[in-house]
Amino acid sequence: MKFRRRAQDPVGPSTAEPDVEAGAAGEPPRSGPYDAEEIDDDGVERVDLGSLLIPPTEGRELRVQVDERTQQVQSVLLAGSDGALELRAFAAPRHGDLWSDIRPQLAADMARRGGTATEQEGRFGTELSCRLTVKAADGRTGEQPSRIVGINGSRWMLRATFLGQPALDAESASSWEETLGSVAVRRGDQAMPVGDPLPVVLPEQARRVTPPGEPGAETS
């Protein structure tokens, strides 16, 4: 597990799939992401990061991105050779649809930054297909594709952003979507304003990585 510092950025990429209760014979089984209280006996091992419980996946590295200004964990990232999946969880109304409220804001922010965001239907419901021109460290520019998905849960919303090939190709996205479907969110009992990020707690064995040249590197 690696931890990287990152400049603060606006509320951005994610997706959502409403819970489906298993019903009569022949109906599909319940699909995640799940509420943490629902997975006690599902047999899936997950890395416990407080508000996010994430299944480890072979060939993918679990990273935590830290806001430089506040030193708070901003998001969790699963990174692989073909792309990445960014995860963020937020407090939400018990019976509301926070994803529908936030989606237009994300699209407007993408437009403000010179990109595009188009609504489309996916495995987890209505999502945003985004394109943004970015500049690399070597000065070259290129287009960064992403898919933002939002899942409304019980007093929480999980925002997931697919980056790289999983944002472009359905076949590449399949295994990443399976991983997202196994994620669980722990809302907690504390009162929180709607839209506030749920806290991420780092495990004791976590190793913090600071970019070269930046002071204050820590290792545990």
Length of the chain: 220
Q: What is the pLDDT of residues 89-126, one digit of tens each?
A: 999 998 889 999 999 999 999 999 999 999 999 999 99
Q: Output the pTM of the full model.
A: 0.79
Q: CA–CA separation, 92 vs 210, rounded Å?
A: 32
Q: What is the pLDDT of residues 149-207, one digit of tens each?
A: 999 999 999 999 999 999 999 888 999 999 999 999 999 999 999 999 999 998 776 55
Closest CA to 148 of 181, 117, 182, 184: 117
Give me the residue spans of the domains in the chain: 2-18+28-208
Spatial strand order of the sheet with 83-91 comes to 116-122, 125-135, 141-152, 156-164, 83-91, 73-80, 61-67, 2-6, 207-208
Q: Which residue has the tokens 């749920």?
A: 198
